[in-house]
């Protein structure tokens, strides 16, 4: 986001009970929130706000508090901003990662429809489509070989983060400071990852309701 200095934001978050500190650009996982620089952003006082590893309801509650601080201090979003979500992949199986990629591709057009035009298809060089590589995905025998199919991190589903962080990163969502958008996107992705443990979409017209709770489907329909 942009519109508030990193030092001020970190202090405001600490005042709200969120442990947060300013740092230079880095990809290190911390035990606290960090506000870092990012050269891909446009606007005055740009920053990237990075969470520590979050789990369960307590993790979602931290996101809620952070969003309240961002909105209260008038943090702003533009097309250069994105929302990146990482899921732990330490114990994930190759078949599940294949299914995640194939399933995301199967639902990608529907996902595009509830995100801004700047995040759809191949409109954004920082989050390119994962479609069109289905045969390569099915033929791969390891997660590292799957990662080699997508040779940079700039895809909607990023497997380069598996090599660096042991995570799978989802990069498509637009930047936002709105808790409703972030929490629903997290839950949507969580459901997709869980669905992909055992299932690969094979029908030509899959329904988002196949793996989502009713309130998430209703949210998506409103967004579309």
Q: In the chain, how many H helices and how many E strands?
A: 8, 6
Q: How far apart are CA 73 and CA 62, in angstroms?
A: 17
Residue 8: the pLDDT is 98
Closest C-alpha among 50, 84, 70 to residue 2: 70
Alpha-carbon distance values, 32 to 143, 152, 165, 176 (Å): 29, 27, 16, 20
User: Which residues are 88's β-sheet partners?
Assistant: 167
Q: What is the structure's pLDDT at 107? A: 97
pLDDT reported for residue 22:
97
Four-residue CA torsion sign, 18, 19, 25, 29: negative
Segment 98-136, tens digit of pLDDT: 999 999 999 999 999 999 999 999 999 999 999 999 999
- pLDDT score for 55: 96
> Average pLDDT of 71-78?
97
Residue with tokens 């995570």: 167
pTM here is: 0.95
Average pLDDT over residues 51-63: 97
- Tell me the C-alpha distance between 38 and 2, whole Å: 11
pLDDT band at 184 (very low <50, low <70, confident <90, very high): very high
d(CA 97, CA 2): 34
Interval 150-173: pLDDT, tens:
989 999 999 999 999 999 999 999
Q: Residue 105: its pLDDT value, please?
A: 97
């Amino acid at each position: 986001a942009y519109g508030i200095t990193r030092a001020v934001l970190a202090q405001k978050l600490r005042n709200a009970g969120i442990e947060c500190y300013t740092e230079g650009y880095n990809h290190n996982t911390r035990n606290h929130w960090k506000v870092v620089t990012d050269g891909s952003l446009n606007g005055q006082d740009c920053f990237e706000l990075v969470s520590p590893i979050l789990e369960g309801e307590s993790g979602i509650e931290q996101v809620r508090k952070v969003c309240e601080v961002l909105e209260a201090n008038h943090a702003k979003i533009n097309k250069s901003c994105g929302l990146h979500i990482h899921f732990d992949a330490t114990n994930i199986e190759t078949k599940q990662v294949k299914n995640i990629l194939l399933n995301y591709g199967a639902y990608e057009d529907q996902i595009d429809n509830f995100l801004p035009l700047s995040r759809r298809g191949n409109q954004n060089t920082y989050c390119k489509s994962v479609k069109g590589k289905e045969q390569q995905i099915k033929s791969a025998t390891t997660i590292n070989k799957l990662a080699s199919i997508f040779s940079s991190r700039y895809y909607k589903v990023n497997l380069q983060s598996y090599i660096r962080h042991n995570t799978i990163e989802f990069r498509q969502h637009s930047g936002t400071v709105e808790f409703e958008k972030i929490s629903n996107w997290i839950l949507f992705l969580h459901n997709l990852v869980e669905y992909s443990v055992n299932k690969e979409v094979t029908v030509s017209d899959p329904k988002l309701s196949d793996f989502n709770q009713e309130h998430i489907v209703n949210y998506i329909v409103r967004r579309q």
